[in-house]
Structure 1
């Protein structure tokens, strides 16, 4: 869905006129349905505003960080954005997989 380029390559002014509901926030709840719901609403929203495709991967995960709360936000700040992080560059997919691995029991 987001790995492919969007029909619109950039965010156009008309997208600002859309009154889209904000994506659901994710707190780090160990509930796969809550995580899937967050991801689905986030991916759909990012695609509609024109941030599909590989060149927007970093921007997507930076935007997604605003839709994380609690333990999930702490994980993101420590592992993805923090000064002491071990990995310097993350793709959006790697952030999603990191959140899944950290919070969802399999």
Structure 2
């Protein structure tokens, strides 16, 4: 997973797509983070932060969980849009676990 906010980086159209989906999830749901992941078959999973009294998940961990629950065995790409400086170590671990 490349961590960059540099608009000058030339991204593949499919990578731009998951960034756009992550931004849209964040804006649409009014949540702190939006994320999207693409699995080995090209399927995309989009999620926002989950903040319930009994369950708190980052957007990226939610998207990874959705991919796993749908049968994905690996990830090709992941994107997270957040106000934080970077994805958390736990988020990166979830991507590596499936990656």
Under a length normalisation based on structure 2, what TM-score does the superposition of the two structures give?
A: 0.32
Relative to its length, the structure with more helix (as a share) is 1
Bigger CA radius of gyration? 1
More relative contact order, 1 or 2 (CA 8 Å, 6+ apart): 1
Under a length normalisation based on structure 1, what TM-score does the superposition of the two structures give?
A: 0.31
Relative to its length, the structure with more strand (as a share) is 2
